[in-house]
Amino acid sequence: MRAMLRLLLFAFIGVIIGHLILLVLSLRESWVERTFIFFPDQKLEGTPRQAGLDFREVYFDSADGCRLHGWYVPAGEGAPVLLWMHGNGGNISYEIGGLALLRQAGLASFIFDYRGYGLSTGQPSEAGVYRDARAAYEYLRNELGAPPERIVFFGRSLGGAVAADLALRVPARAIILDGAFTSVGDMANHHYRWLPGKGRFAHKFDTAGRLARISIPKLIIHGEQDRVVPFTMGKRLYEAAVPPKEFYPIDGAGHEDTMPVGGDGYVRRVREFIRHAQP
């Protein structure tokens, strides 16, 4: 009996120690970044040319010296330009199909890699990717000659939080979020309920809180079968946003396939939203 009690005591102590270790690790910014938030791929899988697109390869610097890489896909003169902020995994080459689809809508795109992704230097962090987005915006304005009334922020997944932060800092025509989440804390609560200290992440990516303060027109897109960022989060983002706003659910779409599943309907909805958007 005593042996059994000792065994139970040791098991209990082991569980407590394990949770304390997880708590300490979850409070370490670098561990959180690598384990839960950022999944960069340095290898480019191709270029827009493989999709039959003309494009310009560009390099520019973030405010703290990171060298960033991106592509500019032009459209007709005076066409709206999507400033494209991708998700937390991969790099810009993962979005080539989407670039081609939205080029069909007569839209230009400027897509870039955050620090640590693709050919961009540095290590990603929340503050860092916000700086990178601001640097991309300044390059689009000053070097590519796009005025704010032609610029539309386009954020996919984690890029939705980056786009929302940028929309609070600089002027633009509109903002589109595709598969965005409400916050890192909400994502942790959804996927890692067992993790102690998950509410204390140094990174917040509070998309919902920012949408409540953004005045430009907003289009929130979400796949109804999204298993990564649940559909309910897309609805919560729409509820948190102040008007003018639109919600576009895509039946049958998950997290990564809203564009191919939406197809021509996706293109039409985005085109019409931008055409009627008045900042």
Q: What is the pLDDT of residues 188-198, one digit of tens each?
A: 776 666 555 44
Quote the pTM value. 0.86
Looking at residue 95, its pLDDT comes to 97
Tell me, yes or no, if 157 is annotated catalytic: yes
Sequence length of the chain is: 279
Which one from 132, 186, 206, 226 is the annotated catalytic residue? 226
Tell me, yes or no, if 255 is annotated catalytic: yes
CATH architecture under which domain 2-276 falls: 3-Layer(aba) Sandwich (3.40)
pLDDT digits (tens, 9 = 90+) for 82-134: 999 999 999 999 999 999 999 988 999 999 999 999 999 999 999 999 999 99
Looking at residue 144, its pLDDT comes to 96
Looking at residue 278, its pLDDT comes to 79
Looking at residue 190, its pLDDT comes to 65
Which one from 86, 203, 222, 255 is the annotated catalytic residue? 255
Looking at residue 189, its pLDDT comes to 75
**Domain boundary assignment for the chain:** 2-276
Site of tokens 């939205």: 102
Looking at residue 9, its pLDDT comes to 45
Which residue positions in the chain have pLDDT lower than 50?
Answer: 3-12, 14-28, 33, 197-198
Which one from 62, 93, 157, 183 is the annotated catalytic residue? 157
Tell me, yes or no, if 226 is annotated catalytic: yes
